[in-house]
Amino acid sequence: MVDPLTGLFDRKYFDEKLDAGLAGSQRTGRPLGCILVHIDRMEAVNGAFGRELGDEMLRAVSERLLQTSRREDVPCKFGDDDFAILVTDADPASLRIYAEHIRLAIRSAVVDDAERVIQVTASLGVSISDGDSVPLLQAAQAALCHACEAGGDQAAFHGTPARAPARVAA
């Protein structure tokens, strides 16, 4: 259940935590948030500069996620160039701030080889549960699509227009 490249838990682990988190949320009435993270321009970097540099991007993002996540909010490798974080006891305002801190932490990462330096950026999709796992993920995925379509390097919250949120100072 651990991704060998990043050292983060994998999608299977995420799915198990999602089920447990939703059960806990329904039992306690406390909200559960989901943040999906997509590395911007990952395919272009892999195509132009090779998978080694792309792998460095994945490791850099996983390090930033570990640095910014609370102990109870375990980040997971969700897909090829995607990550997911389940956020317990999340309210919309604090979840927006948390997502923006994650975005800024990722933006501080750079990867390089002998010839180039690439700043890493990510798009984030954020949602809060209403007690159903499918809508939680679908809502986060829809928000992620909005962030990507709006140019990337931003966090979009489900139910808000695709525009850059107010920036939080680094």
Calculate mean pLDDT across residues 77-94: 93
Q: Which domain holds residue 112?
A: 11-157
Number of domains comprising the chain: 1
Separation of CA 63 from chain center: 12
| 168 assigned to some structural domain | no
Q: Is the pTM here over 0.85, yes or no?
A: yes
Q: What does the pLDDT look like over 37-57, one tens digit per residue?
A: 999 999 999 999 889 999 999
| 162 assigned to some structural domain | no
| 149 assigned to some structural domain | yes
Specify the CATH number for the domain of residue 48: 3.30.70.270
Coil, helix or strand for 164? Answer: coil
Confidence of residue 166 (pLDDT cuts 50, 70, 90): very low
| 165 assigned to some structural domain | no
For residues 144 and 72, which has the higher predicted lDDT (pLDDT)? Answer: 144
| 50 assigned to some structural domain | yes
- What pLDDT sits at residue 102? 97
Residue 85: phi and psi, rounded to 5, are -135, 130
Nearest 5°: the CA angle 93, 58, 98 is 10
